[in-house]
Amino acid sequence: MSNTTFEEIGQVLRGNQCFAILSHVRPDGDALGSQLALALSLQQLGKDVRIWNEDGMLEKYSFLPRAELLTKPPSTAIDVDVAVALDTAIQNRLGTTLAAVGSAKIWINIDHHRSNPGYGDLVIIDSSAPATGEIIFRLIKSQDLPFNHDIAENLFAAISTDTGSFQYPKTSARTFEIAAELVRVGGLDVGQISQQLYENYPRRRLELLRDLLRTMRFGEDGRVASFSLSLKTAAALAVLPEDNEGLIDHLRAIRGVIVAVFFEELADGKVRVSMRSKDEAVDVCAICQKFGGGGHTLAAGARIRGSLAEVEEKVLEEIGEVLKRDS
Protein backbone atom coordinates (compact mmCIF):
# COMPACT_ATOMS: atom_id res chain seq x y z
CA MET A 1 0.00 0.00 0.00
CA SER A 2 1.49 3.34 -0.97
CA ASN A 3 0.43 6.81 0.01
CA THR A 4 -1.41 9.03 -2.38
CA THR A 5 -0.48 12.71 -2.73
CA PHE A 6 -1.95 15.79 -1.11
CA GLU A 7 -2.67 17.01 -4.68
CA GLU A 8 -4.90 14.03 -5.41
CA ILE A 9 -6.76 14.45 -2.14
CA GLY A 10 -7.07 18.19 -2.80
CA GLN A 11 -8.66 17.48 -6.19
CA VAL A 12 -11.17 15.06 -4.67
CA LEU A 13 -12.06 17.56 -1.92
CA ARG A 14 -12.62 20.36 -4.43
CA GLY A 15 -14.34 18.18 -7.02
CA ASN A 16 -17.11 16.75 -4.79
CA GLN A 17 -19.98 18.26 -2.81
CA CYS A 18 -21.15 15.97 -0.04
CA PHE A 19 -18.78 14.82 2.74
CA ALA A 20 -18.81 12.78 5.95
CA ILE A 21 -15.83 13.38 8.23
CA LEU A 22 -15.30 10.59 10.76
CA SER A 23 -12.87 9.49 13.46
CA HIS A 24 -12.38 6.79 16.05
CA VAL A 25 -14.56 5.73 18.97
CA ARG A 26 -13.55 7.11 22.38
CA PRO A 27 -12.10 10.13 20.56
CA ASP A 28 -9.22 12.25 21.80
CA GLY A 29 -8.25 15.84 21.05
CA ASP A 30 -6.45 14.84 17.85
CA ALA A 31 -9.48 12.98 16.50
CA LEU A 32 -12.02 15.71 17.29
CA GLY A 33 -9.78 18.67 16.45
CA SER A 34 -8.72 17.15 13.12
CA GLN A 35 -12.34 16.38 12.20
CA LEU A 36 -13.54 19.91 12.94
CA ALA A 37 -10.57 21.56 11.23
CA LEU A 38 -10.97 19.66 7.95
CA ALA A 39 -14.75 20.02 8.04
CA LEU A 40 -14.61 23.79 8.64
CA SER A 41 -12.19 24.21 5.75
CA LEU A 42 -14.55 22.23 3.46
CA GLN A 43 -17.53 24.26 4.65
CA GLN A 44 -15.68 27.43 3.69
CA LEU A 45 -15.37 25.93 0.21
CA GLY A 46 -19.17 25.68 0.13
CA LYS A 47 -19.35 21.92 0.69
CA ASP A 48 -22.05 20.01 2.58
CA VAL A 49 -20.23 18.41 5.47
CA ARG A 50 -21.38 16.00 8.14
CA ILE A 51 -19.09 15.49 11.13
CA TRP A 52 -19.81 12.31 13.02
CA ASN A 53 -18.31 10.44 15.93
CA GLU A 54 -19.85 7.43 17.69
CA ASP A 55 -19.49 9.24 21.02
CA GLY A 56 -20.52 12.67 19.75
CA MET A 57 -18.73 15.74 21.11
CA LEU A 58 -17.16 15.20 24.53
CA GLU A 59 -17.85 17.65 27.35
CA LYS A 60 -14.13 18.28 27.78
CA TYR A 61 -13.63 19.32 24.15
CA SER A 62 -16.86 21.28 23.81
CA PHE A 63 -14.86 24.54 23.97
CA LEU A 64 -13.40 23.80 20.51
CA PRO A 65 -14.59 26.30 17.89
CA ARG A 66 -17.81 25.06 16.21
CA ALA A 67 -17.83 21.97 18.44
CA GLU A 68 -21.62 21.88 18.07
CA LEU A 69 -21.25 20.76 14.44
CA LEU A 70 -19.84 17.39 15.53
CA THR A 71 -22.63 14.96 16.37
CA LYS A 72 -23.37 11.29 16.86
CA PRO A 73 -24.21 9.60 13.54
CA PRO A 74 -27.85 9.15 12.47
CA SER A 75 -29.37 5.70 12.81
CA THR A 76 -30.32 5.54 9.13
CA ALA A 77 -27.52 5.60 6.60
CA ILE A 78 -26.90 8.67 4.44
CA ASP A 79 -25.22 8.62 1.04
CA VAL A 80 -22.27 10.95 0.53
CA ASP A 81 -19.77 11.60 -2.24
CA VAL A 82 -16.71 11.28 -0.02
CA ALA A 83 -16.19 9.74 3.42
CA VAL A 84 -13.01 10.69 5.30
CA ALA A 85 -11.64 8.63 8.20
CA LEU A 86 -9.20 10.58 10.37
CA ASP A 87 -6.82 9.32 13.07
CA THR A 88 -8.39 5.85 12.93
CA ALA A 89 -5.96 2.93 12.95
CA ILE A 90 -8.46 0.20 12.03
CA GLN A 91 -11.66 0.76 10.08
CA ASN A 92 -13.84 -0.89 12.73
CA ARG A 93 -12.74 1.77 15.23
CA LEU A 94 -15.03 4.11 13.31
CA GLY A 95 -17.77 2.35 15.29
CA THR A 96 -21.35 3.30 14.44
CA THR A 97 -20.27 6.04 12.03
CA LEU A 98 -19.23 3.35 9.55
CA ALA A 99 -22.81 2.09 9.17
CA ALA A 100 -24.12 5.67 8.98
CA VAL A 101 -22.30 6.18 5.68
CA GLY A 102 -24.60 4.60 3.08
CA SER A 103 -22.71 4.75 -0.17
CA ALA A 104 -19.60 6.81 -0.72
CA LYS A 105 -17.89 7.15 -4.10
CA ILE A 106 -14.52 7.56 -2.42
CA TRP A 107 -13.12 6.68 1.00
CA ILE A 108 -10.17 8.74 2.21
CA ASN A 109 -8.01 7.51 5.10
CA ILE A 110 -5.66 10.04 6.73
CA ASP A 111 -3.78 8.85 9.81
CA HIS A 112 -0.47 8.66 11.67
CA HIS A 113 -0.77 5.19 13.21
CA ARG A 114 1.94 2.85 12.03
CA SER A 115 -0.43 -0.11 12.40
CA ASN A 116 -2.99 1.38 9.97
CA PRO A 117 -3.40 -1.22 7.18
CA GLY A 118 -4.34 1.46 4.63
CA TYR A 119 -8.07 0.77 4.13
CA GLY A 120 -9.88 3.09 1.71
CA ASP A 121 -9.30 4.43 -1.81
CA LEU A 122 -7.01 7.36 -1.09
CA VAL A 123 -4.64 6.87 1.80
CA ILE A 124 -2.11 9.03 3.60
CA ILE A 125 -0.45 7.32 6.56
CA ASP A 126 2.47 9.30 7.95
CA SER A 127 3.75 7.62 11.08
CA SER A 128 6.40 10.31 11.51
CA ALA A 129 3.64 12.82 12.28
CA PRO A 130 2.98 13.17 16.01
CA ALA A 131 -0.68 13.99 15.34
CA THR A 132 -3.18 13.62 12.51
CA GLY A 133 -3.73 17.37 12.98
CA GLU A 134 -0.22 17.98 11.64
CA ILE A 135 -1.08 16.09 8.42
CA ILE A 136 -4.35 18.04 8.07
CA PHE A 137 -2.40 21.29 8.44
CA ARG A 138 -0.01 20.24 5.66
CA LEU A 139 -2.93 19.21 3.46
CA ILE A 140 -4.67 22.56 3.97
CA LYS A 141 -1.50 24.57 3.35
CA SER A 142 -0.23 22.62 0.36
CA GLN A 143 -3.61 22.67 -1.38
CA ASP A 144 -4.38 26.25 -0.47
CA LEU A 145 -7.62 25.21 1.25
CA PRO A 146 -9.48 27.75 3.44
CA PHE A 147 -7.81 28.50 6.77
CA ASN A 148 -8.98 30.73 9.62
CA HIS A 149 -8.85 31.21 13.40
CA ASP A 150 -11.35 28.42 14.15
CA ILE A 151 -9.48 25.92 11.99
CA ALA A 152 -6.19 26.96 13.59
CA GLU A 153 -7.52 26.49 17.13
CA ASN A 154 -8.86 23.02 16.34
CA LEU A 155 -5.53 22.01 14.80
CA PHE A 156 -3.58 23.45 17.73
CA ALA A 157 -5.71 21.42 20.17
CA ALA A 158 -5.20 18.29 18.04
CA ILE A 159 -1.42 18.67 17.97
CA SER A 160 -1.04 19.83 21.56
CA THR A 161 -2.99 16.88 22.97
CA ASP A 162 -1.37 14.16 20.82
CA THR A 163 2.15 15.42 21.58
CA GLY A 164 1.46 15.58 25.33
CA SER A 165 1.86 19.35 25.11
CA PHE A 166 4.82 19.21 22.70
CA GLN A 167 6.75 16.69 24.80
CA TYR A 168 6.54 13.23 23.18
CA PRO A 169 9.45 12.03 21.03
CA LYS A 170 7.74 12.60 17.65
CA THR A 171 7.51 16.31 18.42
CA SER A 172 9.86 17.77 15.80
CA ALA A 173 11.08 21.14 14.60
CA ARG A 174 8.31 20.92 12.01
CA THR A 175 5.74 20.46 14.79
CA PHE A 176 6.90 23.67 16.46
CA GLU A 177 6.94 25.47 13.10
CA ILE A 178 3.37 24.41 12.43
CA ALA A 179 2.32 25.39 15.95
CA ALA A 180 4.00 28.78 15.50
CA GLU A 181 2.15 29.34 12.26
CA LEU A 182 -1.16 28.33 13.85
CA VAL A 183 -0.57 30.80 16.67
CA ARG A 184 0.66 33.62 14.42
CA VAL A 185 -1.68 33.32 11.46
CA GLY A 186 -4.67 32.01 13.40
CA GLY A 187 -4.21 34.62 16.14
CA LEU A 188 -4.44 32.02 18.91
CA ASP A 189 -4.24 32.61 22.66
CA VAL A 190 -2.06 29.67 23.76
CA GLY A 191 -2.56 30.27 27.48
CA GLN A 192 -6.30 30.24 27.13
CA ILE A 193 -6.43 27.11 24.94
CA SER A 194 -4.02 25.27 27.26
CA GLN A 195 -6.10 26.20 30.27
CA GLN A 196 -9.17 24.71 28.56
CA LEU A 197 -7.19 21.58 27.68
CA TYR A 198 -5.21 21.00 30.87
CA GLU A 199 -6.60 23.06 33.73
CA ASN A 200 -10.31 22.54 33.46
CA TYR A 201 -10.88 18.97 34.58
CA PRO A 202 -13.93 17.99 36.61
CA ARG A 203 -13.18 17.11 40.23
CA ARG A 204 -14.27 13.50 39.65
CA ARG A 205 -11.21 12.97 37.42
CA LEU A 206 -8.94 13.48 40.42
CA GLU A 207 -11.19 11.29 42.54
CA LEU A 208 -10.75 8.64 39.87
CA LEU A 209 -6.98 9.06 39.97
CA ARG A 210 -7.05 8.58 43.75
CA ASP A 211 -8.83 5.25 43.25
CA LEU A 212 -6.56 4.17 40.42
CA LEU A 213 -3.46 4.83 42.49
CA ARG A 214 -4.82 2.48 45.15
CA THR A 215 -4.71 -0.32 42.55
CA MET A 216 -1.20 0.55 41.31
CA ARG A 217 1.10 -2.44 40.83
CA PHE A 218 4.70 -2.81 39.77
CA GLY A 219 6.44 -5.72 38.08
CA GLU A 220 9.67 -6.68 36.34
CA ASP A 221 11.82 -4.87 38.90
CA GLY A 222 9.81 -1.68 38.67
CA ARG A 223 9.96 -1.52 34.89
CA VAL A 224 6.23 -2.17 34.47
CA ALA A 225 3.56 -0.14 36.27
CA SER A 226 -0.17 -0.66 35.95
CA PHE A 227 -3.47 0.29 37.48
CA SER A 228 -7.03 -0.73 36.77
CA LEU A 229 -10.56 0.58 36.80
CA SER A 230 -13.50 -1.71 37.48
CA LEU A 231 -17.05 -1.03 36.32
CA LYS A 232 -18.02 -0.86 39.98
CA THR A 233 -15.58 1.96 40.73
CA ALA A 234 -16.51 3.80 37.55
CA ALA A 235 -20.17 3.67 38.57
CA ALA A 236 -19.49 4.69 42.16
CA LEU A 237 -17.57 7.78 41.02
CA ALA A 238 -19.94 8.46 38.10
CA VAL A 239 -16.97 8.95 35.80
CA LEU A 240 -17.32 9.50 32.07
CA PRO A 241 -15.11 7.45 29.71
CA GLU A 242 -13.24 10.63 28.73
CA ASP A 243 -12.20 11.30 32.35
CA ASN A 244 -9.35 8.80 32.25
CA GLU A 245 -7.62 10.24 29.16
CA GLY A 246 -4.03 11.02 30.17
CA LEU A 247 -4.09 9.46 33.65
CA ILE A 248 -1.73 6.73 32.43
CA ASP A 249 0.93 9.46 32.15
CA HIS A 250 1.27 9.38 35.95
CA LEU A 251 2.60 5.83 35.64
CA ARG A 252 4.84 6.60 32.70
CA ALA A 253 6.34 9.53 34.64
CA ILE A 254 7.77 7.26 37.36
CA ARG A 255 11.55 6.84 37.26
CA GLY A 256 12.54 3.34 36.12
CA VAL A 257 9.17 2.56 34.56
CA ILE A 258 9.48 1.51 30.91
CA VAL A 259 5.96 0.26 30.26
CA ALA A 260 2.80 1.74 31.77
CA VAL A 261 -0.54 -0.03 31.45
CA PHE A 262 -4.08 1.00 32.23
CA PHE A 263 -6.82 -1.64 32.37
CA GLU A 264 -10.42 -0.53 32.15
CA GLU A 265 -13.28 -2.98 32.52
CA LEU A 266 -15.96 -2.38 29.85
CA ALA A 267 -19.65 -3.27 29.94
CA ASP A 268 -19.39 -5.59 26.92
CA GLY A 269 -17.25 -8.26 28.61
CA LYS A 270 -14.01 -6.78 27.32
CA VAL A 271 -11.21 -4.86 28.93
CA ARG A 272 -9.79 -1.72 27.32
CA VAL A 273 -6.03 -1.76 27.61
CA SER A 274 -3.94 1.40 27.20
CA MET A 275 -0.18 0.99 26.97
CA ARG A 276 2.75 3.41 26.94
CA SER A 277 6.48 2.78 26.53
CA LYS A 278 9.47 4.99 27.25
CA ASP A 279 11.89 2.90 25.22
CA GLU A 280 11.79 2.53 21.40
CA ALA A 281 13.14 -1.02 21.87
CA VAL A 282 9.95 -1.95 23.72
CA ASP A 283 7.27 -1.68 21.06
CA VAL A 284 3.85 -1.55 22.73
CA CYS A 285 2.12 -1.40 19.33
CA ALA A 286 3.46 -4.88 18.60
CA ILE A 287 2.30 -6.11 22.01
CA CYS A 288 -1.19 -4.67 21.48
CA GLN A 289 -1.37 -6.10 17.96
CA LYS A 290 -0.91 -9.55 19.49
CA PHE A 291 -4.19 -8.91 21.28
CA GLY A 292 -5.98 -7.49 18.23
CA GLY A 293 -5.23 -3.81 18.93
CA GLY A 294 -2.72 -1.36 17.52
CA GLY A 295 -1.38 2.18 17.70
CA HIS A 296 2.13 3.61 17.81
CA THR A 297 5.46 2.20 19.04
CA LEU A 298 5.27 4.18 22.28
CA ALA A 299 1.48 4.48 22.72
CA ALA A 300 -0.99 1.76 21.84
CA GLY A 301 -4.18 0.06 22.91
CA ALA A 302 -6.41 -2.96 22.55
CA ARG A 303 -9.79 -4.26 23.64
CA ILE A 304 -9.48 -7.79 24.97
CA ARG A 305 -12.24 -10.21 25.95
CA GLY A 306 -12.10 -11.51 29.52
CA SER A 307 -12.40 -10.40 33.12
CA LEU A 308 -10.20 -7.66 34.52
CA ALA A 309 -8.06 -10.19 36.37
CA GLU A 310 -7.70 -12.51 33.36
CA VAL A 311 -6.72 -9.74 30.97
CA GLU A 312 -4.29 -8.20 33.49
CA GLU A 313 -2.55 -11.52 33.91
CA LYS A 314 -2.28 -12.26 30.18
CA VAL A 315 -1.09 -8.80 29.22
CA LEU A 316 1.41 -8.36 32.07
CA GLU A 317 2.87 -11.77 31.29
CA GLU A 318 3.34 -10.84 27.61
CA ILE A 319 4.98 -7.52 28.58
CA GLY A 320 7.30 -9.40 30.93
CA GLU A 321 8.40 -11.67 28.10
CA VAL A 322 9.02 -8.78 25.75
CA LEU A 323 11.06 -6.95 28.39
CA LYS A 324 13.19 -10.01 29.03
CA ARG A 325 13.80 -10.33 25.28
CA ASP A 326 14.07 -6.75 23.99
CA SER A 327 15.48 -4.50 26.66
Residues near Mn ion (CB under 5 A) are 28, 30-31, 87, 132, 162
Binding of ligand AMP by 293 (CB under 6 A): yes
Q: Is the dihedral of CA 160, 163, 165, 166 positive or negative?
A: negative
Binding of ligand AMP by 302 (CB under 6 A): yes
The Cα 141–Cα 21 span in angstroms is 19
C-beta of 131: minimal distance to Mn ion in Å? 5
- Name the residue nearer to ligand AMP (CB basis): 25 or 69: 25
Backbone angles phi, psi at 55, to 5 degrees: -90, 0
- The DSSP code sequence of 243-279 is GGTTTTHHHHTSTT--EEEEEEE-TTSEEEEEEEES-
What's 302's DSSP letter?
E
**Residue among 244, 14, 25, 51 at smallest CA distance from 154:** 51
Backbone angles phi, psi at 307, to 5 degrees: -80, 165
Binding of ligand AMP by 32 (CB under 6 A): no
Per DSSP, the three-state class of 98 is helix
- Name the residue nearer to ligand AMP (CB basis): 10 or 241: 241
- Name the residue nearer to ligand AMP (CB basis): 90 or 159: 90
Closest residue to Mn ion: CB criterion? 30
- Name the residue nearer to Mn ion (CB basis): 54 or 87: 87
The Cα 208–Cα 248 span in angstroms is 12
Size of the site for ligand AMP (CB under 6 A): 15
Per DSSP, the three-state class of 22 is strand
The Cα 301–Cα 294 span in angstroms is 6
- Name the residue nearer to ligand AMP (CB basis): 170 or 223: 170
Stretch that binds ligand AMP, among 95-103, 124-132, 224-232, 299-307 (CB under 6 A): 299-307
C-beta of 23: minimal distance to Mn ion in Å? 7
Which of 54, 182, 294, 319 is close enough to bind ligand AMP by CB under 6 A?
Answer: 294
- Name the residue nearer to ligand AMP (CB basis): 92 or 142: 92
Cα 272 from chain centroid (whole Å): 14
C-beta of 80: minimal distance to Mn ion in Å? 22
**Residue among 278, 280, 279, 305 at smallest CA distance from 291:** 305
Binding of ligand AMP by 303 (CB under 6 A): yes
Which of 163, 274, 277, 297 is close enough to bind ligand AMP by CB under 6 A?
Answer: 274
C-beta of 17: minimal distance to Mn ion in Å? 28
Beta-carbon contacts of 117 under 8 Å, excluding residues fewer than 6 positions away, are: 1, 90
Binding of ligand AMP by 295 (CB under 6 A): yes
Q: How far is CA 6 from CA 12, 30, 48, 186, 203, in A?
A: 10, 20, 21, 22, 43
- Name the residue nearer to Mn ion (CB basis): 154 or 233: 154
Binding of ligand AMP by 300 (CB under 6 A): yes
Amino acid at 28: D
Residues 53-112 that bind ligand AMP (CB under 6 A): 89-90, 93
C-beta of 178: minimal distance to Mn ion in Å? 14
- Residues that bind ligand AMP in the complex, under the rule CB under 6 A: 24, 89-90, 93, 113, 274, 293-296, 299-303
